[in-house]
Amino acid sequence: MKMYVGGAWTEGAARTAVRNPFDDSIVDTVPVAAPADIETALASAVRGARAMKAMPAHRRADILAAASLALRARAQEFAVILTREMGKPIAESRGEVGRAAQTLLLASEEAKRATGEMIPLDAAPGGEGKLGFTVRIPCGVVLAITPFNFPLNLVAHKVAPAIAAGNAVIVKPATNTPLSALKLTELLLDAGLPPEAIQCVTGGGATVGKQLCTDGRVRKISFTGSRDVGAAIMHIAGLKRVTMELGSNSPLIVMPDADVTQVALATAATGYTNAGQSCISTQRVLVDRTIYEAFLDAVTPMVEAISTGDPLEESVRMGPMISEAEAARVQSWVDEAVHGGARLVVGGERDGAIHRPTLLADVDPTLRISREELFGPAVAVTTFEGIDEAIALANDSRYGLGAGIFTENIRWAMEFVRRVDSGNLMVNWAPNWRADLMPYGGLKDSGIGKEGPKYAVQEMTETKMVVFH
């Protein structure tokens, strides 16, 4: 495929292959943007921002709504692209396409609601007889840097609110998974988006991303990815608005009154989706000592039943990781945990890029698999005694994106809500749950700012204060 720069589809001087992580076959090739291409994209985006600022809200809404309908009509085409470039099972890819269409539609509605507010100036001495109100204006040029794990919906979560707010947007998709972002760019242009309102620039983050992040014409950066890359972007970005959706180490607390069958179902459903490559994937299960063995007995056969293989086959529930190197890394973390005293209950092996769904019991909470972001298909189980120890273990991480608890005790549930340091809290479900309309973001090293179309529009606009004297 070509990249979209300066209002035109272009080949670029060099190209790189996009590979299917299941069999390492070449899916397609994309350009590697050179510095001149990036300069063209930036200059074009500035012009596009002027065009978008002048476009009425109802027109922006119509474009996004038309794109949503078009995406639904081409759902199977997009799902196959997702599975081939990323490796998630085809059923999960269809789900992601449906969510992306919903995200576009939600953003189209928010285009009509980007309002300011009246300010009661007469509440201040000297404010009598004055009229005050705020006006929201677009930032200008928004840079969207997206990850490989949800290469369509997470692009939609950045691009659609940027358009809704009246900005131009430069998309820098993940190097491994650029194809769905390029296809979404094509779809938005077909829906009527002005030619210079979007750029989709492909290439490596260390070069392409750095040039884009440091340029003063970019007024807003929305990044989803690792904590370390996010910190590096913050260091070089300068005086820009930023949204950072970073890593996690999501805990699930299981209190003694929980239904262990329901907990087991939730763990199997949320610890291995997308081969565990989700920021809020259930990574740690903290189980009260009195029901610990019962939980392990319930969850073990469910994890064993997760089928792996070619993700284009309908029966496969878990496909490969994004690369063999990542699968090898997960295996090394699992081996390290076993050497540190953990008990391997299920899995632990890999075949190329496929790492078998893995369950570890008796995990020491000081081990790396309990403290850092694994981003792979392994779940670590640890015991606790009492709500205070459970919350202390849940908070014993630099991350704070998602957390869950299973309990019927309202006091325990409220203790969890008040005291667990996480941006997304699930009561009677596991951490890995998100509705695309909700405010989504983390605490601590998990990030800054919120996504969800309503909240992203706020992040992608600036406020003017107006006073009539």
The set of catalytic residues is 245, 279
Helices (H), 57-171: 57-73, 75-86, 90-110, 153-164
Give the three-class secondary structure for 17: strand
Residue 53, token pair as written in the block: 């600022």
Nearest CA-CA partner of 182 in 152, 162, 211, 157: 152
Q: 346-359: b or e for each residue (b if 16 or more CB lie within 10 Å)? A: bbbebeebbbbbbb
Rounded Cα–Cα distance for residues 56 and 222 (Å): 24
Identify each DSSP E strand in 246-311 by its residue range: 251-254, 284-288
Rounded Cα–Cα distance for residues 212 and 314 (Å): 40
How does DSSP classify residue 357?
Answer: P
Element (H, E) at 394: helix 387-395
What is the secondary structure of 210-242 as a DSSP string?
Answer: HHHHH-TT--EEEEES-HHHHHHHHHHH-S-EE
Q: Are strands 378-384 and 358-361 parallel, antiparallel or unpaired?
A: parallel
What is the secondary structure of 21-62 as a DSSP string?
Answer: TTT--EEEEEEE--HHHHHHHHHHHHHHHHHHHHS-HHHHHH
Q: What is the Cα Rg of the chain in Å?
A: 23
Neighbours of 14 (CB within 10 A): 11
Residue 287, token pair as written in the block: 């189980």
Residues 6+ apart with CB under 8 A from 125: none
Rounded Cα–Cα distance for residues 175 and 209 (Å): 11
